[in-house]
Structure 1
């Protein structure tokens, strides 16, 4: 029973009992006027208290819709699919948020549910299997700006070893509560100024894909950016983000350990296991490059073991892999955006006698991702080192980096070919 109705029922029951006792004993009905007034005032106070509690419940829900009740959704899904069993394998209620120039998207909570022996009518989204799993997620999109914007809730999910990107399947849970129903082509994905929208998502996987996901430990969800033009979704505000959905306690522990490393693509895409060898932060070495100030903030050397899906990309490193990830802070004082996805650098090792280029396949940046004019941002550069040479020759000698030139998001040189040099150690 709803809490506020329980309070109201309790208050009315108290009044009824008091009235009933008065009817049984005539003497009780012959109260002094002052006592009667006090009782009436007390009853009014109780009623006001109930009304206040109800108003408080209402006020708490204003501006934000209620979060998904996964228990109800699971029961609905079990009945809808005629599943023999519906078991919660893992759940998390700790929110994750991503802010994009006044628009905040949050993953409020999620639940991984295993379904067994469901109707064949639902086998297609489960890769033609009748056993599998569903990740139920609750998302909130909030527009804190004073302008109407547009948001396409394409929250695609992926994981290491996945053969496709997973999206919402609308026929598993009530359609009216789903985020793609509340933000859809019917309303041109409109997100009004000051508006907050909460909705659900259901990601189905057959048992074969579920097993692969569980082995990975977690999945990732892409968070798209909002736009000012519903007819041109390429005009984005801010930079798209990513949420991590852990599928087990072990997966959560792995995610927590991964957070200690710079988020290059090896970390973001969970490409393997990193073990820290050496790190240094807060270096603060700055150079002027074009119209920007570039500051070497820190570096991390990590032994890297790729997983079975990524191992072919590192097959030339027969003696093991060490990843060097270098973090820069870039203060863009110019009038052009500084492209991140096309930034390159050279690493000089063995006291400058050998060098190699940064590995762009491990860059975490999307096409045309940039640091806007007048803004500051982070830049990561990644180098793949032969573990044996690192341990036997390079690790105790000088490491230097040559960064640049700077390019805008359209790959136009904006630092006149000039580069900046930094000494790591």
Structure 2
């Protein structure tokens, strides 16, 4: 056997393997170098993409900050009723309370104003141009009312009245504004180019009213018994004479707590002691659904009920009652319905009635300034509610036993007595 040859072959094989190994090693180095270059390129691309994403995110954030900001409370009533608040103020709008069925309506003989829905919102971080709305503050509150004006009369009606939220008294009100935070197309006004306050027959439009409040005014809602008032004043005459002057007054519910108090509390007659927050009442005795009817020359008067309440004047009106004794005051509020089937116009404010006590031993005159219908008249064929209010020192009331209402005499549209000055006599339950 030729060992040398074998050794050569083996040696060649080793050299071949070594050479192959050398080639593979060199290839691995080249591949690793190529991978390193590719990795660096990929990392650069990833880093570049990340920077682009970060820039886009910053741009989105900046654009989002430029948009009007809206924050809605949880629940079905969280939708913002008037998005223009956020758009115009660039502020954060938070829904606090929504009343979708307030049932506030004022029918002025066919000219009807209805509050269909309203919403209480807090507005904060407003722009500089909107600070004046909140007495130069960057936050406050807005009550938005969705209202409808409708003229069902056969003639045009002039109306310049407004709605307001009353707090302490008539000098402490927030008026509903048809223009503030309301776009032009939603302004509640007529399309008549000659007069935006002249509403033609058949007119009907829905739009917003804005009640703008400072923080202090909103806080006062919690301390008082706020009322929403829709003013009277609808007239078919441009000089506003012969207008329907009676206003409509409603308890203004602004949160769940005030809703509960309104629903669970006594249903007091809406004399001006209640409507104008003149005094707080505590029920002593009431009798409703009496239904006693009396007639005088075609005018049918029905005694519907009577309430005896102990009243405590509010701080703003305390001095008005200074002539009463310190141990308390009792208000007697009598509710009647007057159905005018006569040919005469009857002036409700002209009915000067007397509360006769204990067979005439004491006689009390009605307090016309506390009766909400002083300016109202009843045309033939029409009917209306009438409230009479009488005030008595509590110590005197406690010893009285028998009460009678002498209703009348009546007066006509010119203020003169009608029906020969006669009156009607009702016996009141006690």
What TM-score bracket applies, with the shorter chain setting the length? 0.7 to 0.9
**1:346: which partner in 2?**
354
CA distance in 1, matches of 2:370, 2:244: 25
**1:209: which partner in 2?**
217
Displacement of 1:175: 2.5
Instruction: Summarize deviations over 1:72-99 as a string: whole Å, max 9, x none.
Output: 624x32342243x322222100042333
Q: Does residue 410 of structure 2 align to residue 406 of structure 1?
A: yes
CA distance in 2, matches of 1:168, 1:412: 40
Displacement of 1:405: 1.1
Q: Does residue 387 of structure 2 align to residue 383 of structure 1?
A: no
**2:321: which partner in 1?**
314
Q: Structure 1 residues 344 and 165, CA, compared in 2 at 3 Å: closer, same or farther?
A: farther
**1:255: which partner in 2?**
262
Instruction: Summarize deviations over 1:266-317 as a string: whole Å, max 9, x none.
Output: 2222434323221223334344445523332321112223333333333334
Q: Does residue 371 of structure 2 align to residue 363 of structure 1?
A: yes
**2:64: which partner in 1?**
none
Q: Does residue 98 of structure 2 align to residue 94 of structure 1?
A: no
**1:138: which partner in 2?**
146
**TM-score between the two structures when normalised by the length of structure 1:** 0.73
Q: Does residue 278 of structure 2 align to residue 271 of structure 1?
A: yes
User: How many correspondences in the alignment?
Assistant: 348
Q: Unpaired segments of 5 or more residues in structure 1?
A: 1-68
Q: Structure 1 residues 293 and 236, CA, compared in 2 at 3 Å: closer, same or farther?
A: same
CA distance in 1, matches of 2:235, 2:265: 31
Q: Does residue 163 of structure 2 align to residue 159 of structure 1?
A: no
Displacement of 1:187: 5.0
**2:239: which partner in 1?**
232
SS in 1 for 2:145: strand
**TM-score between the two structures when normalised by the length of structure 2:** 0.72
CA distance in 2, matches of 1:252, 1:151: 34
Alignment check: 8 A CA contact 1:290 1:406 kept? no
| Cα root mean square deviation, aligned | 2.9
Displacement of 1:326: 0.9
Instruction: Summarize deviations over 1:139-186 as a string: whole Å, max 9, x none.
Output: 1123344x3523536323031325345130624232321214x56765
**1:283: which partner in 2?**
290
| 2:183 paired residue among 174, 183, 204 | 174
Please show how residues 6-45 of structure 1 align to structure 2 within 5 Å. none
Alignment check: 8 A CA contact 1:340 1:371 kept? yes
SS in 2 for 1:216: coil
